[in-house]
Amino acid sequence: SLRVLSGIQPTAGSFHLGNYLGAVRQWVALQETHDAFYMVVDLHAITIPQDPAELRANTRLAAAQLLAAGLDPERCTLFVQSHVPEHAQLAWIMNCLTGFGEASRMTQFKDKSAKQGADRASVGLFTYPILQVADILLYQANEVPVGEDQRQHIELTRDLAERFNGRFGDTFTVPRPYILKETAKIYDLQEPSIKMSKSASTPKGLINLLDDPKTTAKKVKSAVTDTDTVVRYDPEGKPGVSNLLTIYSTLSGAAVAELEEKYAGKGYGALKTDLAEVMVDFVTPFRERTQQYLDDPETLDSILAKGAEKARAVAAETLSQAYARVGFLPAK
Instruction: Detail the residues annotated as belonging to a binding site for L-tryptophan.
Output: 135
Least Cβ distance, residue 165 to ligand AQP (angstroms): 25
Contacts of 20 by beta carbon, 8 Å cutoff, 6+ apart: 69, 209
Q: Would you say 145 or 263 has its CB closer to ligand AQP?
A: 145
Least Cβ distance, residue 153 to ligand AQP (angstroms): 9
The catalytic position among 195, 219, 238, 272 is: 195
Q: Would you say 137 or 322 has its CB closer to ligand AQP?
A: 137
Residues that bind ligand AQP (CB under 6 A): 8-9, 16, 18-19, 22-23, 146-147, 149-150, 185-186, 195-200
Least Cβ distance, residue 48 to ligand AQP (angstroms): 8
CA distance 217 to 279: 7
CA distance 110 to 310: 35
The catalytic position among 110, 115, 198, 219 is: 198
Length of the chain in residues, anyone? 332
Q: Pinpoint the alpha helices (H) of the chain.
A: 17-19, 25-30, 42-45, 52-69, 86-97, 100-104, 107-116, 123-138, 151-168, 213-221, 239-252, 256-262, 267-294, 297-326
List, in sequence order, every residue forming a beta bridge with 125; answer none if it has no partner.
none
Q: Virtual CA dihedral for 197, 134, 62, 196, nearest 10 degrees?
A: 10
Around Cβ 178, how many Cβ atoms within 10 Å?
20
Least Cβ distance, residue 19 to ligand AQP (angstroms): 4
Is 195 marked active-site?
yes
Q: Would you say 179 or 314 has its CB closer to ligand AQP?
A: 179
**Side chain identity, residue 111:** D
Q: Virtual CA dihedral for 220, 222, 228, 230, nearest 10 degrees?
A: 30
Is 310 marked active-site?
no
List, in sequence order, every residue forming a beta bridge with 7; answer none if it has no partner.
39
Least Cβ distance, residue 323 to ligand AQP (angstroms): 28
CA distance 92 to 289: 38
- Using CA atoms, how far residue 101 sits from 56, 118, 127, in Å, is 34, 16, 12
CA–centroid distance for 246 within its chain:
18
What's the chain's Rg over C-alpha atoms?
21
Q: Would you say 15 or 172 has its CB closer to ligand AQP?
A: 15
Is 110 marked active-site?
no
Which residues contribute to the annotated binding site for ATP? 9-11, 18-19, 147-149, 186, 195-199
- For residue 76, which of 41, 113, 107, 31 has the smallest C-alpha distance? 31
Least Cβ distance, residue 226 to ligand AQP (angstroms): 20
Catalytic positions:
112, 195, 198
